[in-house]
Structure formats: structure tokens, C-alpha cells
Amino acid sequence: MTIDRLLEGLKARDPRAIGRAISLVENGDDCAEAILSSLDEDLIAKATVLGITGPPGAGKSTLTNAIISQLRLSRKRIGIIAIDPTSPISGGAILGDRIRMMQHATDPDVVMRSMATRGRLGGLCATAGAALRIMASCGCSTIIIETVGVGQSEMDIIRLADITLLVLAPGLGDDIQAMKAGLLEVADLLVVNKADCKGADILAMDLEAVIRKGSPIPTKVSMTVATESKGIKELLDRIDKVDSEHRESGEREKRRRGAHDQEVLDWCLEILRPKLLAEISKRKLPLLGDPRLEAKKILAEQ
């Protein structure tokens, strides 16, 4: 596919073009810039990015699937980015999140993409952000990023979202206190999934007691049974409410600015990384030299 055809395809919302565009940006291909500068900034500004995170076993993918079904009832065009970890040993990954969402595979208004973290410390935000923008530019009014909230890079991704849901479930063995403080801070809405299971009410009570301090918006706990599509409509209503409040108060602007800066930083690192690596190996630095001094030297000469 030539670049012009690709750009045309993107405008026409051709799934092949969208899929290819995301790959090219993810792989840092030469055409990435051409693609990214062709995007519709207006649509990107209007879209809402929903982050869904939580420990494994909470039912995130099932919940995402239920949310998609509900949103499709109002004919919204939706994008989903599902992120799974890359194996540090082999460099490969099993991307299995979309298994629970396959019923939407043939729906032309559901644009799904599975991404691996590729062991990057940086760069994940950059590429996820770019994929987000490509999806928004092709008309997705809501884009969902789904990721397991256990690593630093996954935490960073969530900052790309306008609104973040933290999904928990009873009996997973997490103590609220034991949970990484980061996750609770980042969440706009707390969801207790598998609400029909024992311990759900207690978990909800515990969570309500740990609500984000200093937040102008009280974070209430939503109860869902994703496998039975229960509580989904109420959850979406809450999300809409939070969304309007964020837009009014300027919070959304603030977050987008933060996300934008985060992405720029990420791209800086992503672009610099290979150059710096090449420079380091070229210099054959002595083992006993101080790494920090060496770094400053290299940067000064860039």
C-alpha cells in the first residue's frame, strides 16, 4: 500500500488502512510522520478516551465487551486498544484480550487493536497515544484503553485517558491497603465487577472509605456483573456525568495537556534511544567509569 492510498484509506475509514497505519507508527516507520500529521485534530479533540485498568481476574475485558455492546446501542463508533505484556525473555507476546470481544469483530464501527508493551520503558505511551489519535481521527467518538494495572508502563498509559475506571472484583486476594496507591489515585470511577459474588458489598464499602482525597468529584463505587450486562447502563451514565464535569471544570483540558506532554517526552526518548544506544556502544566505555558522568558527556555532545 502506498502512503497516499493509505491516507485515503484512513479518510475512508478502511479497516485495512487503519490497521496498517497503527503498525507503521508502532514500528517507527518512515511514514509515521506523514500519517500522524494527516489526522483530523478536530475529531481528536472531541473524542473521549476511557481507561480501564485493574488487577488480573477482575473481568476488565468482559466489562469492556459489555460497555461496547451498550455504546453500540446508541450507534457510537468505538475504538479499543487492549494492551498485554511482552515476554521479557522471548520478546513475543500473547495478545488474548480480544477473545472476550470477538462478537464485535465484524462490526465496522468497532475498531479494535491489541498491543504488546514490547518491553519498553518509554515508547508505549507514544505509540498508544498515536493509535488513539488514529482511531479518533477515523471517527471513533469513544476510545477505550484496556490494560492490567501492575507495571509502571501500564500506569503511564492510563494517564493518556480522559477518564479512568479501576475495575476490581471480590475475592481476588487484594487488600485495599496493599494495593498500589498509584492505581487508586489515578481512578475517576471505581467499579466492583462480579457484584453477584460474595464479598462484593464489603469491597464496595471499603473502597468508598478510601475515595480520592481532594478530588472535587466524589468517586462513588459502581457495581456491575459484566457477564450478565448488569449495571452497565448506570456505569456509562456515571462516566458521562464525570465527563461533563471534567469538561466544565477544565480538568479535561488539564489532563490532555499532561498527556500531551507525556507523549512528547515519550517520543523524545523513543527517537533518541537508538541514537544514544549506538553512541554508547561506539564509545566502548570503560567499566570503571561513572555512568552519570558518561551520560552527561554524551548528551552534551548531541
Binding residues (CB under 8 A) for another protein: these are 1-4, 14-16, 18-20, 22-24, 26-31, 34, 57, 61-62, 65, 86-87, 89-96, 98-100, 102-103, 105-106, 111-114, 116, 118-120, 171, 227-228
Residue closer to another protein, measured from CB, 90 or 177:
90
Dihedrals phi, psi of 165, to nearest 5 degrees: -105, 130
Cβ proximity of 120 and 23 under 8 Å: no
Q: Measure CA 32 to chain center.
A: 20
Please state, in angstroms and rounded to a whole number, the distance separating the CA atoms of residues 167 and 262.
Answer: 24
Residue closer to another protein, measured from CB, 15 or 182:
15
Residue closer to another protein, measured from CB, 98 or 238:
98
DSSP 17-46: HHHHHHHHHHTT-TTHHHHHHTS-HHHHHH
Please state, in angstroms and rounded to a whole number, the distance separating the CA atoms of residues 97 and 104.
Answer: 13
Cβ proximity of 242 and 73 under 8 Å: no
Minimum separation from the CB atom of position 292 to another protein (A): 24
Minimum separation from the CB atom of position 296 to another protein (A): 25
Cβ proximity of 272 and 121 under 8 Å: no
The residue with cell 514490547 is 118
Minimum separation from the CB atom of position 205 to another protein (A): 20
Minimum separation from the CB atom of position 257 to another protein (A): 28
Residue closer to another protein, measured from CB, 84 or 162:
84
Minimum separation from the CB atom of position 63 to another protein (A): 12
Neighbours of 45 (CB within 10 A): 9
| Order of all β-strands in the sheet with 163-168 | 110-116, 78-84, 142-148, 48-54, 163-168, 189-192, 221-223
Residue closer to another protein, measured from CB, 91 or 182:
91
Residue closer to another protein, measured from CB, 95 or 211:
95
Residue closer to another protein, measured from CB, 15 or 289:
15
Minimum separation from the CB atom of position 129 to another protein (A): 16
Residue closer to another protein, measured from CB, 14 or 146:
14
Q: What single-letter DSSP state applies at residue 151?
A: S
Minimum separation from the CB atom of position 105 to another protein (A): 4
Q: Are strands 48-54 and 110-116 parallel, antiparallel or unpaired?
A: unpaired
Minimum separation from the CB atom of position 75 to another protein (A): 19
Please state, in angstroms and rounded to a whole number, the distance separating the CA atoms of residues 162 and 160.
Answer: 7
